[in-house]
Amino acid sequence: MIATAVPPPGDPWDLPLDQAPLAFVDLEMTGLDPAKDRVVELCIERVRGDVVEKRMYTLVRPEGMADAVGNAHVHGIVAEALKGAPSFADLADEVMATFDGAIVVAHGASWDVAFLEAEMARAGKPMPLPFYIDTLNLSRRTFGLKKHSLDSLREHFGLDRSRAHRADSDVAALRFVWQKCIETLEPKTPRDVWEVRIAQRKAREQILAECTEAIAAAVPVTVIYRPRSRPPEPMQMVLVEIVAGLDPPRVIGYQLPGRGRRELRADRILRIENDGTTRKVEQ
């Protein structure tokens, strides 16, 4: 994928978030090399709003590797359990139908996407997935935690850890983490979620638009901001300027009370809350 490429306009990326089809996916594999390792377990939940439209969950028999499951010490799936399971080629049509028109959401998504693409290509049904949403990336932006693995997030949120590294359990944890991120970020569309980038100094267009509106209104707003290595913090501010020439853009304002000047990195602003006042503040 070209670094400057963005998801295509229109459906599903520009639908309201609760109307967009999202395919939450987790895979368990024999190893870490998509060229030679194979998927041994798969779970996909296609969700729109709060409705699960379709769910796939199955063990997968790795063709040509019946006696070598590799990562059994991680996921606990042994060769004997896979003998009666379908191959990925058997599942390919259903996998393609489940993903059709949906946005892939996964934790550490590049691994799952690489294996999906490799398995579908081997099945003779290429399915490129150039754009996807990674909850690992969202977690790193949203929460001030030291670790962001799914295991660490399970521990942080008090989720059941008894079946960690099994695809169905990991999808359940993935969807919980997704919801926590969405509650904090309050995105309007999947594109806005995709624009949450770590280490790319990318500011979300939705946030810049909301800052512009706040500047024009000249009324106090609450900025939910996550400083580096710290949890999010709310700041009541009057915003006065966006410095677009910097990378990332900076948002200038005065923090209340006291009117101390603050310069905020736009990519670290999680959301803007209108305080409900219509009284303009004299600059």
Confidence of residue 66 (pLDDT cuts 50, 70, 90): low
In a domain, 6, yes or no: no
In a domain, 165, yes or no: yes
Q: In this structure, what CATH number is given to the domain that contains residue 162?
A: 3.30.420.10
pLDDT tens digits, residue range 120-153?
999 999 999 999 999 999 999 999 899 999 999 9
In a domain, 153, yes or no: yes
pLDDT tens digits, residue range 154-197?
999 999 988 888 999 999 999 999 999 999 999 999 999 999 98
Domain count, the chain: 2
pTM to 2 decimal places = 0.89
In a domain, 11, yes or no: no
In a domain, 58, yes or no: yes
Last residue of a domain, one of 194, 228, 252: 194
pLDDT at 202 over 90: no
Task: Name the least confident of 55-64, 146-155, 196-205, 261-270.
Answer: 196-205
In a domain, 4, yes or no: no
In a domain, 1, yes or no: no
30 and 147, same domain (yes or no): yes
**How many Å apart are CA 93 and CA 163, to the nearest integer?**
28
Answer whether 224's CB lies under 8 Å from 184's CB. yes
Last residue of a domain, one of 173, 194, 215: 194
Number of Cβ within 10 Å of residue 160's Cβ equals: 10
Determine the structural domain holding residue 242 and report its residue range. 205-274
Tell me which residues are annotated as active site.
165
82 and 187, same domain (yes or no): yes
CA distances from 58 to 86, 96, 167 (A): 8, 15, 9
Q: In this structure, what CATH number is given to the domain that contains residue 209?
A: 2.30.30
**How many Å apart are CA 19 and CA 6, to the nearest integer?**
20
Position with higher pLDDT, 96 vs 72: 96
> pLDDT over 90 for what percent of the chain?
78
Last residue of a domain, one of 151, 173, 194: 194
172 and 213, same domain (yes or no): no
